[in-house]
Chains A and B, each alone.
Chain A
Amino acid sequence: MHLVPSAYAGFADVVAMLVLLTEFAMLRAPLLRSQVRIYAFQSLVVTGLAVDIAAARHVPDLYTLAALTFALKVVLVPGVVLRLLRDAEADLAGSPVLGVASMVLIAIAVSAFGFFAVGSFHVQSATLPTTALAIAIAAALVAFVLIILRTDVVSQAMGFFSLENSVSVASLVVAAGLPLVVEVAFLFDLLVAVVVFGVIMRVHHGRTKTLSTDELDRLKG
């Protein structure tokens, strides 16, 4: 059975796919700065998706959400992290646990798992863009890979933020009608999380003079 999605759903799928691809790009970006910029681009894509869905499904609330997403995730968060990077005078990411090729292969395997897991849960229906949901979940899993395999605080924090982006995509395609107050609460939480991440990143850099997490190996057992 081959359902051909409508042009709107197709667009949503392509956007979700872009999010997944930027996730891969973040995985391999050797410069921390470029990683932050890719994140900003990814957020921009998510903003675009919000606008698209607002228009396609006539949910005016989502325009507000799109504006907030833009202000927060495209402008503010990358700005804060870039500034932190400037202060820390760090360019290169810590050497990852694995080579680029292996990381990409692992990420492909993991995202395949995400696709098939969603497929096997039989949540598909006429109204639900299963593909976009599957892609969003795959992107979330790739974000996990990013966090696990990159060994510096910036990459790990960016991994978390991009995880949040892919969850946003999922929420936009699956639950567009989610009350605005809830969405704004999510965003507010992200803002707070950014502050906390920033504070702890700064503390970490202040203590170890590096952004690498290799030093963080004291506590175990």
Chain B
Amino acid sequence: MPAVMVALVVLPFGVSVATFFLPVPASRVLSVLSGIAAFSLSLLLVPAAADHRQIAVGSFLRVDALSVVFLVATAFLYATTALFTTGYLALADNPAGTRYGRRFYAGLNLFCWAMLAVPLVNGLALLWVAIEITTVVSALLVAIDDTDGATEASWKYVLIASLGLGIALLATIIMYYAGTKVFGGSYDLSYATLLHGASHFPPGAVRLAFVLAVLGFGTKMGLVPVHTWLPDAHSEAPTPVSALLSGALLAICFYAILRYFQITVRAVGPAFPRTVFLIFGLASLLLAALYLLSQRDMKRLLAYSSVEHMGILAIGMSFGVPIAVFGVLLHVLCHAAAKGTAFFGAGSVVRKFGLKDMSRIRGGIGALPWSGPMLVAAVLALSALPPFGIFRSEFLIVSGGLSGSNDAGAAVLVVLVTVAFFGLSWFTTQTMLSADVPEASPGGVVATPDRGEVSVWIVAAMAAGLLGLTILGVHPPAALSHLLDRATTELGVPR
């Protein structure tokens, strides 16, 4: 297993360097292969992590069940995004295609490398460093299209996310300080060490560190009120980057918060972190549900949907019962698959119609025989309709809330998710299914192009995503359930 972990760290980085020098067609193949390889490698870790307490390589790399959950989600999205990019960039209307393509592939692989590294590294400090690397790489990727909107979005993104990470760094330092009470002046911030001594940490410092961590990493995770960069970056970035940001990056930052949660639960008990999660989760869910009702841009819509789902994750953690936490971890996997697929579909529509303002697009499903229906399916999946995985995960979360005597929280969750469902499906059905022309739309409706797919690669990526969602929804593999169980226990919420 250690070899697998090293390979996961080395491979995408190597590919990133290689793609910077190779011609674009070669990069395309290499990236897809690298993505699939990373996904397979991460799957290899699943049974091992479910059985062992932890697997460490040296003092820098370490995985346990919790990190493997996030590793699988990220690697899955890496693979599908690489597939999607093959179709997406083939049609890039950028004349300086090769230069753009090289940068794009190098950036994409580097971004995925940084995100894969986050669950692999051992210790809060390295965790912070890895997440900061994701910020800088993704900021450049957001800006890569070099439009006014992209510049603005990337400026907001890099500034707000960096500030958030500044706070997160403070959290790291205060957690380190809390540890000095037990381990003396100099020690390493590895998880095993911290978890071992956590019960003796001074509670005040740990509380402070936890709040700062939620605020800091929550900025990148998209928790309200520190989410403001998110819709802009998601809507202005190239679609593959949007998919990665939404499906993987947000989850990765949630992972970072969970690491703090693990320590905090041991140091001050579950009540405090749960309250913090509940506050941020409710705020995120409420605001996102309301914003979902008034969006005109498909990618912004999906971005607010991400805020919504991050809110659901936080609320699920606040319920604090094993079944809800199990649901939260399953939700991470499902959200990665569903959000990736939805973004791929949106990218397909935008490419097909050649414009971004989707309120002016009608009859998308007629123009795109495969990706059109699949986009609708992905949006329905995001709204937690069976048989897709999100139905299962949200069901688990809600039932956890009801069983854990948090009926009010569960009820609010259900109501707000329904509002969000309304916003999402209203817009999507209008764009994809309806054919009638809206009166007040500026510029009128664009003519529907000929029936036909943009690229078979896009269809393949979306199909993979939906397949994953269906498997998670209908019958999650036993090994995976085992892994999620184990991770739930590691989070200090034993079954």
Residues of A within 8 A of B (CB): 57, 59, 121-123, 125, 127-128, 137, 140, 144, 147, 153, 156-157, 160, 163-164, 167, 170-171, 174-179, 182, 185-186, 188-189, 192-193, 195-197, 199-200, 203-204, 207-208, 213, 215-216, 218-219, 221
Contacts and interface: CB of A to CB of B under 8 A. Distances in A.
A164 B300 CA distance: 31
Contacts of A221: 231, 291, 294-295, 300
Contact of A213 (B155, B187, B188, B232): B155
Contacts of A196: 136, 139-140, 158
B132 interface: yes
Interface residues of B, number: 52
Given A185-B125, A203-B146, A218-B148, A164 B166 contact: yes
Nearest to B139: A196
Contact of B152 (A144, A174, A182, A219): A219
Contacts of B166: 140, 160, 163-164, 167
A204 B291 CA distance: 28
Contacts of B202: 123, 125
B159 A174 contact: no
B154 interface: yes
B143 A121 contact: no
Contact of A199 (B140, B176, B291): B140
A163 B165 CA distance: 10
Interface in B141-163: 143, 146, 148-149, 151-156, 158-159, 162-163
A47 to B, nearest CB: 18
A193 B180 contact: no
27 contacts: A59-B186, A121-B208, A123-B177, A127-B180, A140-B166, A140-B167, A140-B170, A147-B159, A156-B159, A167-B169, A171-B173, A174-B173, A175-B177, A179-B125, A185-B129, A186-B129, A192-B132, A192-B133, A193-B162, A199-B140, A199-B143, A200-B139, A213-B155, A218-B149, A218-B152, A219-B231, A221-B291
Chain A at the B interface: mostly helix, strand, loop or mixed? Answer: helix
B266 interface: no
Given A121-B207, A123-B204, A167-B169, A174 B177 contact: yes
B185 interface: yes
Contacts of B126: 182, 185
Contacts of B125: 178-179, 182, 185
Interface of B: 125-126, 128-129, 132-133, 135-136, 139-140, 143, 146, 148-149, 151-156, 158-159, 162-163, 166-167, 169-170, 173-174, 176-177, 180, 184-189, 202, 204-205, 207-208, 231-232, 235-236, 291, 294-295, 300
A204 B176 contact: no
B42 to A, nearest CB: 24
B192 to A, nearest CB: 15
Contacts of B146: 203, 207
A12 to B, nearest CB: 15
Nearest to B131: A189
Given A160-B166, A176-B185, 5 more contacts: A170-B174, A174-B174, A192-B132, A203-B151, A218-B149
Contact of A175 (B140, B176, B291): B176
Contacts of B177: 123, 128, 174-175
Most interface-central of A176, A179, A219 (chain B CB within 10 A): A219
